[in-house]
Amino acid sequence: MEEILNSQTTECLTLRVFGVHLPTNKTAAILALMILTCSVMMNERAAAQWLLQSSGTTERLRAVSAVSRLVAWASGNCGTCVRTTNGGKIWQPLHVPGADSLDFRDVEAFGENTAYLLSIGEGERSRIYKTTDGGSHWTLQFINRNPKAFFDAIAFWDANNGIAVSDAVEGHLVIIKTTDGGATWTEIPSKKIPPALPGEGAFAASGTSITVQGGNRVWIGTGVKSARVYRSIDGGNTWSVSRTPILSENESSGIFSVTFKDARTGVIVGGDYRKDAEARQNAATSNDGGRTWKLVRVSPPAGFRSAVVYVPGTAAPTLIAVGPSGSDYSMDNGATWKSLGPGGFHAVSFAGSEDAGWAVGEGGRIAKLAGKAPDKQRSSLE
């Protein structure tokens, strides 16, 4: 309440609240004030924010796959996998036999029953598991027999067609794909893949260094003294590669996550994970399918970011990026960014609508995005 203005009669008495003049003919004024106050409170509650949920684990979570506003899966170290079917009210721990020592850096889910898990590591520690009964039983579909390979991430166009990537071995990335729901995995011939730079590989930080779009497009972001994007428009059978302006000065820097809204419009994020609060050369955008990339120089994300995703169902092209030092949002296809809060996460995923998004991180940290995701039509964060 800023001030009361009085005229010569009570009928002319007005009350100004939040810049709005209201008649103070007692009852009418009180009712108007109550309505306006409730409206302000509702708008405040509608602000997009991360609401923490109880995951039931204290293990580090490194991947999340949102299926709907009710169903999501998450995974992490020490063989950890959890699932919710009620929007996060309860997260159910799932046991993968023989996997207690594995680090599940990626999970890809298709409903409340079907999901794939990818574990990372050299040689046989890199594996792919699948469940079709909600995690009650798991099938070991792939075990890496190449002692030099180290698989980082996996992505699926649909429940049957998927692709996974390993760091480079003998001068080329190792890429495998399936067209039968993981029953068989076939390695792409190295001659179909551009030569790798020395030490080049994909970071296994969030399961999002590889992404797919449409029915046959796929992109891979790399790092370790490099920051390039590999792209394929034929389901991974043949590849091209492009340099990007993302930081690539040492083994801890490069591209950590890639996402595409359509065949042409994409965003990459990364930086140096050893300097997680440093906002330097950590985001770039493409409008030609990943052939060229433009560095975000003004208002980039506020630090190293390990995952980025488009938010479905918003009026503007909205993205959210997360990292250990906080999360950010963009409403212009990644050209500029604003803070969504200081809480740290490793991975983020949305499915179908803006109220179906989760982020995961250290110590079993899980949060769901509550309220309206920011966009140009309505952003309570601005």
| CA distance linking residue 326 with residue 343, whole number of Å | 5
pLDDT-derived band at 67, boundaries 50, 70, 90? very high
Angle, CA 116 vertex, CA 114 and CA 120 arms, to 5°: 165
Conformational region of residue 177, where left means phi above 0, alpha means psi within -120 to 50, and beta covers everything else: beta
Per-residue pLDDT at 352: 84
Per-residue pLDDT at 48: 80
pLDDT-derived band at 373, boundaries 50, 70, 90? low
The pLDDT mean for the chain works out to 88
| CA distance linking residue 170 with residue 277, whole number of Å | 34
Report DSSP letters for 266-278, one per residue.
EEEEEEETTSTT-
121-152 pLDDT per residue, tens: 999 999 999 999 999 999 999 999 999 999 99
Per-residue pLDDT at 27: 47
Structure token digits, residue 243: 């340099």
Asked whether residue 61 carries a pLDDT value surpassing 60, the answer given is yes
- Which of 170-184, 227-241, 317-331, 340-354 bottoms out in mean pLDDT, i.e. has the lowest? 340-354
> What is the pTM assigned to this prediction?
0.86
Q: Is the dihedral of CA 189, 238, 224, 106 positive or negative?
A: negative
Q: What are the C-alpha distances in Å from 221 to residues 199, 206, 246, 248, 300?
A: 14, 12, 10, 12, 18
User: Reading across the β-sheet that carries 240-243, which strands appear in turn?
Assistant: 210-213, 217-221, 228-232, 240-243
Q: In 3-state terms, what secondary structure has residue 261?
A: coil
Burial 201-221 (b: 16+ CB within 10 A, else e): bbbbbbbbbbbbbeeebbbbb
Per-residue pLDDT at 375: 56
Q: Where do runs of H (alpha helix) occur along the chain?
A: 27-45
Per-residue pLDDT at 24: 45
Secondary structure tally for the chain: helices H, strands E: 1, 32
Task: Kindly list the structural domains of the chain, giving each domain's residue range(s) and its CATH number in brackets, ordered by start.
Answer: 3-39 (no CATH), 48-370 (2.130.10.10)
Q: What are the C-alpha distances in Å from 133 to residues 77, 108, 210?
A: 22, 14, 26
Place of tokens 């996402």: 259
Per-residue pLDDT at 6: 31
195-207 pLDDT per residue, tens: 999 999 999 999 9
pLDDT-derived band at 374, boundaries 50, 70, 90? low
Asked whether residue 320 carries a pLDDT value surpassing 80, the answer given is yes
CA 107 to centroid of chain Cα atoms: 12
Which phi and psi angles does 285 have, rounded to 5°? -125, 155
pLDDT-derived band at 87, boundaries 50, 70, 90? very high
- Which of 11-20, 103-112, 320-329, 352-361 bottoms out in mean pLDDT, i.e. has the lowest? 11-20
Cα–Cα nearest to 179, from 161, 164, 194, 158: 161
Average pLDDT over residues 297-304: 97
Higher local confidence (pLDDT), 109 or 19? 109
